[in-house]
Structure 1
Amino acid sequence: MRLRPATVQLLVAALFLAGAVAVRVGDGFAVQALRLLGFDLYQRVLPAEPLPDSPITVVDIDEESLKAVGQWPWSRTIVGDLTRKLAEAGAAAIVFDVLFSEPDQTSPEEIVKRLPPVDASRIAAALAPGPTHDEAFAATLATTPAVVSLSLSTAPSPPPALPAGFAVAGDDPKPFIPDYGGVVANVPAIDAAAQGIGALNWIPDRDQIVRRVPLVFRIGDTFVPSLAAEALRVAQGARSYLLKASNASGEEAFGRSTGLNHIRIGDFIIPTDADGAIWLRYRPSDPQRFVSAKDVLAGTAPPARLAGAIVLVGTSAAGLLDLRATPIDAAVPGVEIHAQVLEHILAGRSLTRPDWATGFELAVIVVLGLGLAALLPRLSAGPAAAVGGLAIGGLIAGGFAAFDRLGLLFDPLYPALALLLLVAGVTLDTYRRAERARAELRHAFTHYVAPAVVDEIVLHPDRLELGGEVRELTLLFCDVRSFTTLSEGMSAQELTRFINGLMTPLSEIVLEHRGTIDKYMGDGLMAFWNAPLDDADHPAHAATAAAAMLAAMEGLNARWQDEAHQAGRTMQRVAIGIGVNTGPCCVGNLGSTRRFNYSAIGDEVNVASRFEGLTKAYGVGAILGEQTAAAARLPTIEIDSVRVRGRSRPTRIFTLLPEDTPSALPAAQAEFLEAYRAGDFPAATERLDRAARLAPTGLVPYYEKMARRLARLAELSKPEDWDGTIDAATL
């Protein structure tokens, strides 16, 4: 059973959609990268608004601070002084986004360790007993709401005792939370004195862009809060975290263990992914959120920026290499991300990717894809592309709306790409089918009518009916001179090859110059311009085509002569005559209801045919009518005024001038015609001789013929009605 093309197209579309679904379910790196690119696009187009009166301040160990205080790391006495000043300013939490994992190398006992033994013993004896710089810093931390960092690593090591406790409601979330083998901790005294300890780790995507930020990690069975989470806990004076997992009270999981749902930190309940991370909606980096550390140490920092604030101490100095990439910034200080996590939570923002998002996206691909595959083949290529574009645009707009209004992350790009490929495939297949049908129609008609006419028929099939219109055309007739003599020495096959070899290049010239070939008449052809396609310069195009046809005969004759010489025979020179005329004609589908031809009829057609016949009588290659010559963009001269058969009024005729024509010839020719039409034959003879001496080789036959005519007229008395017009029938 032969399936209908529409059914085949729908089946192919279904197979394509099945493949698209399989690729998405496989979720390879390219698919993931495309999805993340879509999420980044959301952020770039619709970044978060800055939090008004944000309680988050970053104290920046910037380049100016390094110049003023000295290179990093600073002495713990200086860091302690910075901590004390922040506490005195009323900071709600002082959070260090730096590690103090090594003893302070500026502390005297550390300096002594690096001295030669003799010097070390002498200096050690002279040192007054007292706390080390680390112990002094720890003492300061113990009296302030300070949070220090630790760095999770894969090297096995036990974590320090953490100040915060954790409670779990629901299923055990440990299998879902990122697990590390150990930590890089601070000097024990510092960790023991701090009010909070949080991990400063990131889990960037493969492109090293930080999009999701974990709020909790673990080392084996021990939960470790993130630095931002610990800063929020300490600022509120909370003592513990509540991890709400699947099947906890109020959490729906239908009996399945699906990981974390929320984390409660003091008064804040924060929706998270199963692994305890949040998708962060970034705002553009704002330098106004930063206060230079040197200004805090100097006591010149704005008090309002510190009082009651969660103060994050970090660095933007390029040399300290704490720069990170976000969806909207190529490089920001790492401390900025902690600040934005806190602002995200404090602003109550929610940005999640639901568990059912992937299934929903696959359903969109299948439903929209099948709908488009069924609809688009019924439309032409243009409307089909428009409908497909609207569907894809609506899909992307819906993704942006869900992001901005609902805080939901749906992947807009993979479904859009799948539908784009489907729409392109269906549209191209529809276009291909239409073009194949047009090609079949072209092939059927191209043997009978000119290519331009075929194009019109293909674009407008309704024109395949009898009828015509009157419009101005330029007509061209071309015929071979002395064809009977030429054909006598040729066999039928040779004659056929000769005609085809002649008509092919001449026809190509007509078509190249926007002409329509009406018909072939044995050794001749008829063509016209300005139908069926409009051509504002049709007289100029026709005249240029005539000149090109005459020029082409030189190369054709040379080829034929060479072929004849190689074959051991002779070949006389072939000449053509061309008549070109412009005027109103009836053009259209002419004939019977069963068989018709796109052609032109009218008096101007007959005149053009007569002009072609007169070329032999005047010894020129082409004769143009007055209207054609006036509009031609090639040099012409008037050669006579004739009364052609079938027309009572006289017609001025012109011919094309060869390229080697002297510039004085047109004026000499005009003087000759003036005397000739005045009936002053002696003067005309004299002027004709002058013009003939200027004439190029191509016009010599014309002047010879005109000289013989003047000789005959000189023997007769001038007719009383003489006006210089000659009856073509007498030539």
Structure 2
Amino acid sequence: MKIHKHLRGLGSFCKRHHQHLVGTLITFSVALGVVGLRGIGSFEQIELKTYDYLLRSRSPEPPDKRVAIVEISEDDIQRKGAWPWSDQMFADLISRIAAAKPAAIGIDKYFDIPVGDASTREKGRQSLIAAMKSAGNVVNVTYVSVKEGARGVNLPEDLAKVSGAGFANIPTDEGSIVRRAQIAGDYGSLALELASIFLEKTPDKQIKFDPSKKQFSAGNQVIPRITDNYGGYRHEGSGGYETLINFRGKERSFEHISAVDVLDGKVNPDRLRDRVILVGITSIAQKDSFPTPFSTGKEELMYGVEVHANIVSQLLSAALDGRPFLRALPNDAESLWIVFWTLVGGTLATYVLNVGKNLTVLIVMAAGLSGAVYWAFLQALWLPFFPAFLGLLTANILVIAYQLAIQQSERKVLMGIFSRHVSKELVNIIWENREKFLQEGRITGQEVYVTVLFTDMRNFSSAAEAQKPGETLDWLNEYLGAIANEVLAHGGMVDKYIGDAVMAVFGVPIPHGSEVERDRDAQNAVAAAIAIAQKVIKMSNDWVEQGIPPVVTGIGINSGIVIAGSLGSAERLEYSVLGDTVNVASRLESFNKEVDGGEYHILISEDTHKRLDNKFKTEFVCNYALKGRQKETEIHRVVGFNQGQEDTKS
């Protein structure tokens, strides 16, 4: 029994909250869909483009004075008249730089093949070896093959004895865009080796590797590692230790010094002292340049030596200055972030049903998401924007679409019940307050205080006999239409047509709880009755001129409690009211045949009479036990409006 009781309770709960439950189901489905699509890499490129935009949107950072570039530009090549430069020229360049006592020297140029005239090549090579040995802090580049069967570039043994080595590999994304740095593989990168030399004088700030955790740290900071699913990346890990490059800015963000000026002794040694000096090519003709997040045009490329400079600076500034690495949340946390914003979109659509208000709040939420992502990025945290925005928007649209479909269905039900019986204004009021009385496509029964009006035509048979059979229906429709129009104009509802009789109700379907509203309903009903009587008199006069016998309409009005709600089957519902109040109004209309109802043939009960606030001329008729009732009813006839109280159709 308890299980059945709980099941019934659950079923009842689901029926009451089915729209919210379906909205929640839609929202979670969207969230799972977005997370799933992200998991297979559907959003990778747009997320990376968003990352680029965030990076460009930051304020430029000041140059890192610990790092400088001795560049071999196109102008330098032209001044020396040849490329590649000989080993002897590089030996001279290294000697000049070393004389200024830099912290470290990185040469972004392969020396696997000696360069120079046949007669001087060996001498030049020996000079290069001597220069590197004398400097004692030179790091040369290698290239690690990343494709099976491809050859790499190793550091020759003669140079390996006198200098360090670091690979120059730069991982690229689609479009050859550089966003990542590989700082270690089987050995360290050029940037890692140079930064390590610079930090030798500060033991507590060095770059270290923890074998147990398989992670690098720079000073007190762990260097975040890009895995297969990291930020917007999906399955991009190279197998090495990669991290996002926290660029200081666009190209030429570091001091560039002409290599020829250094060779010619035109550079003040102070510009090189105690700095990491990177020597590299900056000639576009040599094709050692890459697009970066800062590249918005074909010409805005960053040379490889500049990329290495950014990586060196990133490692040094993290260890010495606490400058953060760009990082992303764990994949599960990012999924929760996406689910959260999807829930925001679905919840918004569920509880803010007005489309205009929903759109306004949705824009505010989207702006909040954008602001949160941008603020987090300023703190060096890369949060997913596009998947979260897609979830927010899609859940909102789909739940709104579902809500609109439900509303359309409910509106169809309401319109089917009320559209022919109440004014357009009242239909709109009914729709706005639908949740107060519409459940499961049916208007629930409720006790309400109303004023009921009945009309019935006298002499219908005689009038019908005076017309051709095809004319009777048009004539009757004209008569009933006139009555209905006055009921609607006075705020009432046409409950039903019973042949040539009409039943109207004032005070439904939106219940009127205050006495002021109930008084107004009674006054509106009586005003409508007078207007109906006057219109029927005019119409009857017109019909007499057409040879149709005159007609009279009896009207009965009563006020009191009724039961209001939907009647009928699921396929055919009608809204109506039931109760003794209705019966009394009907009997009052019929009583017009037995007493003088006055010029307008309007009889009202005492319950209605006491609510008229002296706005109408009335006369006491009698106390009478109406048909089917034992208790007497105090009956009044309505003569017209009191002076100054003309009909305003309120």
Aligned to 1:610: none
Aligned to 1:43: 55
Counterpart check, 1:281 vs 2:246 = yes
Q: What pairs up with 1:517-666 in 2 under 5 angstroms?
A: 589=490, 595=504
- TM-fit CA distance, 1:452: 10
Distance of aligned partners of 1:372 and 1:217 in 2 relative to their CA distance in 1, 3 Å threshold: same
The whole-number CA distance in structure 2 between the counterparts of 1:311 and 1:448 is 89
Aligned to 1:11: 25
Normalised by the size of structure 2, how large is the TM-score?
0.56
State the Cα deviation string for residues 341-373 of structure 1 (Å, max 9, x = none). 12222222222536x622212223345544654
Distance of aligned partners of 1:590 and 1:32 in 2 relative to their CA distance in 1, 3 Å threshold: closer
* Equivalent pair of 1:47/1:281 in contact (CA under 8 Å): no
Normalised by the size of structure 1, how large is the TM-score?
0.51
Distance of aligned partners of 1:417 and 1:61 in 2 relative to their CA distance in 1, 3 Å threshold: same
* Equivalent pair of 1:198/1:229 in contact (CA under 8 Å): yes
Aligned to 2:611: none
The whole-number CA distance in structure 2 between the counterparts of 1:372 and 1:242 is 44
The whole-number CA distance in structure 1 between the counterparts of 2:416 and 2:62 is 67
Distance of aligned partners of 1:34 and 1:81 in 2 relative to their CA distance in 1, 3 Å threshold: same
State the Cα deviation string for residues 560-591 of structure 1 (Å, max 9, x = none). xxxxxxxxxxxxxxxxxxxxxxxxxxx95577
* Partner SS state of residue 193, structure 1: coil
1:300 aligns with one of 266, 275, 279: 266
1:230 aligns with one of 173, 188, 193: 193
Aligned to 2:133: 142
Q: What pairs up with 1:218-297 in 2 under 5 angstroms?
A: 218=186, 224-236=187-199, 243-245=208-210, 247=212, 259-262=214-217, 271-273=223-225, 275-285=240-250, 287=252, 289-297=255-263
The whole-number CA distance in structure 1 between the counterparts of 2:95 and 2:60 is 34
- TM-fit CA distance, 1:135: 2.0
- TM-fit CA distance, 1:79: 1.9
Identity of aligned residues (%): 22
Aligned to 1:383: 357
The whole-number CA distance in structure 1 between the counterparts of 2:82 and 2:147 is 29
* Equivalent pair of 1:46/1:404 in contact (CA under 8 Å): yes
Counterpart check, 1:68 vs 2:41 = no
Aligned to 2:446: none
Q: What pairs up with 1:187-226 in 2 under 5 angstroms?
A: 187-194=156-163, 196-218=164-186, 224-226=187-189
The whole-number CA distance in structure 1 between the counterparts of 2:41 and 2:175 is 11
Counterpart check, 1:87 vs 2:98 = yes
Aligned to 1:178: none
Distance of aligned partners of 1:460 and 1:362 in 2 relative to their CA distance in 1, 3 Å threshold: closer
The whole-number CA distance in structure 2 between the counterparts of 1:31 and 1:246 is 34
Distance of aligned partners of 1:334 and 1:588 in 2 relative to their CA distance in 1, 3 Å threshold: farther
State the Cα deviation string for residues 650-706 of structure 1 (Å, max 9, x = none). xxxxxxxxxxxxxxxxxxxxxxxxxxxxxxxxxxxxxxxxxxxxxxxxxxxxxxxxx
* Partner SS state of residue 181, structure 2: strand
Distance of aligned partners of 1:92 and 1:244 in 2 relative to their CA distance in 1, 3 Å threshold: closer
* Equivalent pair of 1:235/1:310 in contact (CA under 8 Å): yes
Aligned to 2:330: 357
- TM-fit CA distance, 1:204: 1.9
State the Cα deviation string for residues 103-130 of structure 1 (Å, max 9, x = none). 21434267xxxxxxxxxxxxxxxxxxxx
2:70 aligns with one of 59, 78, 81: 59
* Equivalent pair of 1:385/1:427 in contact (CA under 8 Å): no
Structure 2: 5+ residue stretches without partners: 1-10, 227-239, 437-449, 451-467, 483-487, 496-503, 507-527, 536-650
* Partner SS state of residue 82, structure 2: coil
Q: What pairs up with 1:48-197 in 2 under 5 angstroms?
A: 49-51=61-63, 54-108=65-119, 131-144=122-135, 145-154=137-146, 183-194=152-163, 196-197=164-165
Aligned to 1:410: 383
Distance of aligned partners of 1:236 and 1:261 in 2 relative to their CA distance in 1, 3 Å threshold: closer
State the Cα deviation string for residues 150-204 of structure 1 (Å, max 9, x = none). 11114789xxxxxxxxxxxxxxxxxxxxxxx86312444333332x211000122
* Partner SS state of residue 143, structure 1: helix
* Partner SS state of residue 215, structure 1: strand
* Equivalent pair of 1:215/1:226 in contact (CA under 8 Å): yes
* Partner SS state of residue 327, structure 1: coil
The whole-number CA distance in structure 2 between the counterparts of 1:399 and 1:245 is 32
The whole-number CA distance in structure 1 between the counterparts of 2:207 and 2:350 is 57
Number of residue equivalences? 436
* Equivalent pair of 2:183/2:242 in contact (CA under 8 Å): yes
Distance of aligned partners of 1:227 and 1:447 in 2 relative to their CA distance in 1, 3 Å threshold: same
Distance of aligned partners of 1:156 and 1:12 in 2 relative to their CA distance in 1, 3 Å threshold: closer
* Equivalent pair of 1:385/1:424 in contact (CA under 8 Å): no
Which protein, 1 or 2, shows the higher relative CO under an 8 Å CA cutoff with sep ≥ 6? 2
* Partner SS state of residue 204, structure 1: coil
Structure 1: 5+ residue stretches without partners: 111-130, 158-180, 219-223, 248-257, 467-487, 500-519, 526-586, 607-731
The whole-number CA distance in structure 2 between the counterparts of 1:132 and 1:89 is 24
Distance of aligned partners of 1:70 and 1:236 in 2 relative to their CA distance in 1, 3 Å threshold: farther
The whole-number CA distance in structure 1 between the counterparts of 2:352 and 2:222 is 50
The whole-number CA distance in structure 1 between the counterparts of 2:89 and 2:25 is 74
* Partner SS state of residue 336, structure 2: helix
* Equivalent pair of 2:246/2:326 in contact (CA under 8 Å): no
The whole-number CA distance in structure 2 between the counterparts of 1:335 and 1:156 is 26
Structure number, greater radius of gyration: 1
- TM-fit CA distance, 1:337: 1.0
* Equivalent pair of 1:86/1:296 in contact (CA under 8 Å): yes
The whole-number CA distance in structure 2 between the counterparts of 1:269 and 1:183 is 32
- TM-fit CA distance, 1:374: 4.7
* Equivalent pair of 2:103/2:198 in contact (CA under 8 Å): yes
Distance of aligned partners of 1:56 and 1:374 in 2 relative to their CA distance in 1, 3 Å threshold: closer
- TM-fit CA distance, 1:339: 0.8
Distance of aligned partners of 1:435 and 1:45 in 2 relative to their CA distance in 1, 3 Å threshold: farther
* Equivalent pair of 1:35/1:412 in contact (CA under 8 Å): yes
* Partner SS state of residue 312, structure 1: strand
- TM-fit CA distance, 1:318: 0.9
2:280 aligns with one of 279, 296, 314: 314
- TM-fit CA distance, 1:284: 1.8
- TM-fit CA distance, 1:285: 2.6
* Partner SS state of residue 161, structure 2: helix
State the Cα deviation string for residues 55-77 of structure 1 (Å, max 9, x = none). 21111111211211123211222
